[in-house]
């Protein structure tokens, strides 16, 4: 865990304190022998304190340290050991200032300071030798700071780009979920509307045959009750979908929006994928006898799994579609061997087919397992609990 002190990383604060202590040590160590004595030591101590703020206020620190260095030159003290603070301030303004212009100005001022420092240096060598030496050191510090600044800004741009991409992915995922829920809601609405139409027709038939054929009227009333319970369950699921907060997958043949898909139409769906190049096999109970909304979910899961197999495994892949049911649930299993012909162009990224399948399965509180197979290929398995049968004559 990264610790902070006053909102700054602990490592940065510790490093700056160490630099400040080093400058103070240089200033105090030469107090007795250096030109200016304790007055020069005081100047060095002020420089050391200014260095503490080199990250948060680099331009201001550079101004303060530069003025103190100018005082030192005017006093004729010459370069002293604690003048390492000048190099630290120069590095900081180049590396951390908001604008590189401040670093360029600091570099120009430092060049003038190099000439002044070389002119006041007591040495048997010509002054220009000292100027070249000071210039090399100062220029090296300036270039190192520019390199650090460039790398820091590059890393920041990468972080901002990654954060932007993450936000875009989240927005796309939310839009995909919202679109899939709207589609599920429309289809469940069609299921409920169909059930209501059946109830009305059966109720009208029972009204006209009640006196002439009581047994037939009784059967019609039973159908009305059973259909009503089923419609009520679908309506509850519809309301659950719409209460949630917040398919973008190409299909081989688009389904008409006015027709409700059913399990009985799975063979025709598989024929269309066979025509597209998949080698499909299908096994299912003779009479699945599923509620209409559950049939729609089974159909869409198989359709999406086959679409993904065609896109990623490629034409020629062998796909097995298996539909089983017991007293508690219906299980849809779609497995491909992944050995089809690779398309000339890879499938475009960013699809939301798995999101759609999870949303549909989640409506019925089912489970979805997807992933690669050990021997190659891909597996999709959805388990959908069957609604509990209401006892005859009970109310929902």
For the domain made up of 169-243, the CATH class stated in words is mainly alpha
Q: Residues 127, 121: contact at Cβ < 8 Å? A: yes
pLDDT at 263: 81
Q: What is the mean pLDDT of residues 350-376?
A: 80
Q: How many Cβ atoms are within 10 Å of 238's Cβ, its own excluded?
A: 20
For the stretch 14-73, pLDDT in tens is: 888 898 899 888 888 877 777 878 888 898 899 999 988 888 889 999 999 989 988 888
CA quadruple 354, 309, 311, 168: dihedral, nearest 10: 10
Q: How many helices (H) and strands (E) does the chain have?
A: 10, 7
Instruction: Please give the Cα distance from 273 to 277 (Å, whole number).
Output: 6
For the stretch 144-169, pLDDT in tens is: 999 999 998 899 888 888 888 888 88
Identify the CATH number of the domain defined by range 263-385. 3.30.565.10
Please state the domain extents for the chain.
4-122, 169-243, 263-385
From the list 92, 106, 73, the residue with the least C-alpha distance to 20 is: 92
Q: Of 317 and 255, which is predicted with more confidence?
A: 317
pLDDT at 319: 92
| pTM: predicted TM-score of the whole model, two decimal places | 0.46
Q: Residues 295, 304: contact at Cβ < 8 Å? A: no
For the stretch 318-353, pLDDT in tens is: 999 999 988 888 999 999 988 877 655 555 444 556
Whether 199 has a pLDDT exceeding 80, the answer reads no
Whether 388 has a pLDDT exceeding 80, the answer reads no
């Amino acid at each position: 865990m990264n610790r902070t002190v006053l909102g700054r990383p602990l490592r940065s604060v510790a490093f700056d304190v160490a630099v400040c202590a080093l400058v103070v040590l240089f200033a105090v160590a030469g107090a007795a022998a250096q030109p200016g004595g304790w007055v020069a030591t005081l100047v060095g101590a002020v420089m050391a304190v200014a260095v503490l703020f080199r990250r948060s206020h680099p331009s201001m620190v550079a101004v303060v340290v530069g003025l103190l260095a100018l005082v030192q030159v005017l006093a004729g003290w010459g370069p002293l050991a604690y003048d390492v603070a000048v190099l630290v301030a120069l590095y900081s303004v180049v590396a951390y200032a908001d604008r590189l212009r401040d670093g360029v100005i600091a570099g120009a001022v430092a060049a003038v300071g190099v000439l002044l420092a070389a002119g006041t240096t007591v040495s048997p060598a010509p002054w220009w030798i000292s100027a070249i030496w000071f210039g090399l050191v100062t220029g090296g510090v300036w270039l190192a700071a520019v390199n650090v600044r460039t790398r820091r800004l590059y890393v920041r741009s990468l972080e901002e780009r990654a954060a932007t991409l993450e936000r875009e992915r989240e927005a796309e995922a939310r839009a995909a979920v919202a679109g899939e829920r709207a589609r599920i809601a429309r289809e469940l609405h069609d299921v409920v509307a169909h059930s209501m139409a059946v109830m009305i027709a059966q109720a009208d038939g029972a009204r006209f045959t009640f006196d002439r054929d009581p047994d037939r009227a009784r059967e019609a009333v039973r159908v009305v009750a059973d259909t009503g319970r089923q419609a009520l369950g679908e309506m509850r699921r519809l309301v659950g979908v719409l209460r949630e907060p917040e398919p973008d997958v190409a299909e081989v043949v688009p389904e008409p929006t006015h027709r409700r898909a059913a399990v009985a139409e799975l063979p025709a769906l598989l024929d269309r994928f066979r025509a597209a190049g998949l080698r499909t096999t299908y096994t299912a109970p003779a009479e699945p006898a599923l509620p209409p909304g559950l049939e729609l979910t089974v159909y869409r899961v198989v359709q999406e799994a086959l679409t993904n197999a065609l896109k990623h495994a490629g034409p020629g892949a062998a796909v097995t579609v298996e539909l089983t049911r017991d007293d508690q649930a219906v299980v849809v299993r779609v497995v491909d061997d992944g050995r089809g012909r690779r398309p000339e162009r890879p499938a475009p990224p960013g699809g939301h087919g798995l999101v759609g399948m999870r949303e549909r399965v989640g409506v019925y509180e089912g489970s979805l397992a997807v992933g690669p197979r050990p021997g190659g290929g891909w597996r999709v398995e959805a388990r959908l609990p069957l609604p509990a049968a209401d006892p005859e004559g009970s109310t929902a």
